[in-house]
Structure 1
Amino acid sequence: MAKFVQNVGNYRAESAWGAMDLVEIDGVSVKLHWTDKPYKWHENDGAEAFVVLNGEVDMHYMVDGLERVVTLGASDIFIADIGDRHVARPRGEARILVVERNGSE
């Protein structure tokens, strides 16, 4: 059945990194996350697409053992491949669309 999700810019979860499950496609989940707190350093077992819908997020990631950071704003995308160590740290509230393998952190 078709689904229409409105006003995602107003979505707010009960707690940081809470999510609205939007759809599952062949073992891949698409979720709308709300947060106002950092996540945790982690590595995914599959690729992950991280799309900022509103707000700003500092994405910290490791390259050759060195920490790097990029600030993502609305419409920016961060793609982590398998094993890419990273952590998202929002600047205030942010809403983020995350596409990743089911069961990933």
Structure 2
Amino acid sequence: MKVFRGSTFKADRPWGAVDIANMGGVTTRLHWTDQPYKWHINDGEEVFAVLAGRVEMHFRDETGAEQSALLESGDVFYAAVGTEHVAHPIGEARVLVIEREGSV
């Protein structure tokens, strides 16, 4: 058993993470960041939960048009297979990410 403090975790670099679990090839990781990630498409589905802070999530809809949603503490973003997206934190953010092992 281990407790992870999502509200105070801090990595040594943007998008640094601590591995929480690997359940049959699906990873759960706690990330800290203060910088945007990069546009990407995961190898599978992704669940992105903001534990602390705010994140502007940009994504492309089915027509390819860019959309965005402001995520605050407690909000969850689900990226279906093939969803291109990028996270832009507003200040520091702590995020729980659940995705296929080895996904970007």
Task: Extract unaligned runs of 5+ from structure 2.
Answer: none
For 1:45, the equivalent position in structure 2 comes to 43
Percent identical: 49
Cα shift readout 1:8-41 (whole Å, capped 9, x = no counterpart):
2111000000000001101000000000000000
Cα shift readout 1:51-73 (whole Å, capped 9, x = no counterpart):
00010000000011110000000
RMSD: 0.7
CA distance in 2, matches of 1:89, 1:98: 15
For 2:22, the equivalent position in structure 1 comes to 24
Cα shift readout 1:70-97 (whole Å, capped 9, x = no counterpart):
0000000000011100000000000000
Runs of at least 4 residues off by over 3 Å: none
1:1-80 aligned within 5 A: 2-5=1-4, 7-63=5-61, 64-80=63-79
CA distance in 1, matches of 2:9, 2:53: 12
Q: Aligned letter for 1:79?
A: Y
Whether the 8 Å contact between 2:59 and 2:68 is mirrored in structure 1 is yes
Q: How many residues align?
A: 103
TM normalised by structure 2 equals 0.96
More strand, by proportion = 2
CA distance in 1, matches of 2:10, 2:2: 19
Task: Extract unaligned runs of 5+ from structure 1.
Answer: none
TM normalised by structure 1 equals 0.96
